[in-house]
Structure 1
C-alpha cells in the first residue's frame, strides 16, 4: 500500500491511497455523476440514513465531502476507483468524546458504500482494509469503530473480514426512515491492527 499527498498542508492536500488494484482518493468536482450511479439506488441506501440521492443530493454531498481531507482535523472522505471507474466510497471521522483533552487518544468511526455492480470481487475488503491502515497512521488514534443497521449483513461480514470485533447489538435504538432499527457496533484497537502494532 502506498500513501501519497501533494506536499501541501494537511487540510488542503489531496490524499491518495494505492492498493494492488484500487486507488482511494479525495473527492473532486464532477464525482457526483459516478456516485449517483449507486447512491441513487434504493437497494444501496436501504440501510443508510439517507434516501436514494437525486442529482442535486449528489452534487451537495460531493461539495461537502471535498473538504474532508484530513482525519486529524476531523474527517476524511475518499472515492474508491478500480481501473478508472468509481466502485465505492469510504470515510472516517473522529468521534466526539466529552472528557477528551488534547493529549487523549481518539476514536474514529468508519463508513462505506459500494456499487453492487462491482460486488463479489473483494474491492470493499481491499478498500476498507487500506483505509483502516491509513487511519491508524493518524497520531493519537487508539480505537476505530463501525456502526451499521443490524439487517445490513454484507457490511457486518465486511467488518468481520477486515478483523473488527463485534462489540454490541443495540435493539431498536435508532428511528430511521419511519421505523425502529437495531444497530451493530464493531471495533478494533491500534494494538490489534497488524501494521500499527
Structure 2
C-alpha cells in the first residue's frame, strides 16, 4: 500500500513522525480519552516516544497493527489503528480523538478514509468492539455501516471493574455497496387533500409538476388484485421536489416519507430511535409495494414513514 498522506475532508491521514510525540502524549494522557481504552493515563513521555517510533517504522499492509496519525489544521488530533490478520483478509479497528477535537466529524472522516484503504487492499471483513458505555464510538461505527453483532456481559476487566463489550462487523460488500453521505437523503411530504384528481390538475397544469404515478394505476401500486392499498394517492415532482398527494376524508394527520439508501440503514435508525424512546408504530418489514419500511409517530400523532429498497 502507498499514497500517504491522504486528505479526507477536514483531516489528513498520514504516518506518524517524531514531531507528534508531544501531542500524542497529551491526548493519550487525558483520563477522559483513556476512560474506555486499554491504556492507563497519564502516559509517560518516554513510553509515548517509543510508541510513536514504532508507529513511524511500521509497514502499512503488513500483518499486525498499523497506526494512522490524524491531523487537522496542522495539529495531531488523534489516531486510527488497524490490526491486519495473517491472512490479510480480516482486520480489527480502533480509533482515538483528543477531547478538544471531538464532535467535529474528524473521527468519522478519518475512519472512513482508513476503511477505504483497507477494503481497497483486499480485506473482506473489519471487526471492532467498544465498551457498552461508550455510546459515541458505537454510534460512529453504526453511522459508517457497521452491524452490531454481539453483546458480551462483564467480559473485560478494565480499570478495576468488569465491563460489557459491544461487538461490530463490516463486510467489504456492504462497504462497497453503501451509498455515500448521510442515511436520510430525502423527504417527500405527503399532503392530505380532499380531492386528489383536482389536486393533480392544479400541480400538473398550473404549477408544471410531472405526475410520477397514481396509486390506482397498477404500475404505480406495485400490487396484485385484492391486496390492501391506500385510495387516492399520487406522486408529483418538479426539479428536486417530490410531493405525495393522498385523498383522506375527515380529520387526519400529516405523513412524511423519509428516504434511506439501504435496508441496513433503516435497521440502524430503528435501533437508535427505539433506544432513545421513540414510539415505533410499526417495525421495519417489506411492504406489499416492495419498500422496506418502518413507521414512527411524533408527539402529535403525525406519521413518519422511513423506507429504503429491500435488502438484496
TM-score higher than 0.5: yes
Q: Distance in 2 between matches of 1:72 and 1:122?
A: 28
Select which of 148, 151, 160 maps to 2:142.
160
Residue matched to 1:32: 21
Residue matched to 1:118: 101
Q: Distance in 1 between matches of 2:16 and 2:66?
A: 10
**Change in 2 beyond 3 A, CA 1:147/1:68:** farther
Residue matched to 1:106: 89
Residue matched to 1:76: 66
Please say if residues 129 and 162 of structure 1, whose CA atoms lie closer than 8 Å, have aligned partners that are also in contact. yes
Note the alpha carbon deviations across 1:47-98, whole angstroms, 9 max, x for none: 00100112122112212222233124433211101121111100101246xx
Select which of 120, 126, 137 maps to 1:144.
126
Matches within 5 A, 1:24-103: 24-52=13-41, 53-95=43-85
RMSD: 2.1
2:173 matches 1:173: no
Q: Distance in 2 between matches of 1:107 and 1:196?
A: 19
Residue matched to 1:8: none
Please say if residues 144 and 188 of structure 1, whose CA atoms lie closer than 8 Å, have aligned partners that are also in contact. yes
Q: Distance in 2 between matches of 1:95 and 1:191?
A: 19
Note the alpha carbon deviations across 1:20-51, whole angstroms, 9 max, x for none: 22111011112110112211100000100100
Question: Radius of gyration: which is bigger?
Answer: 2
Gapped regions of structure 1 (runs ≥ 5)? 6-14, 97-103
Q: TM-score, normalised on structure 2?
A: 0.54
Q: Distance in 1 between matches of 2:124 and 2:117?
A: 13
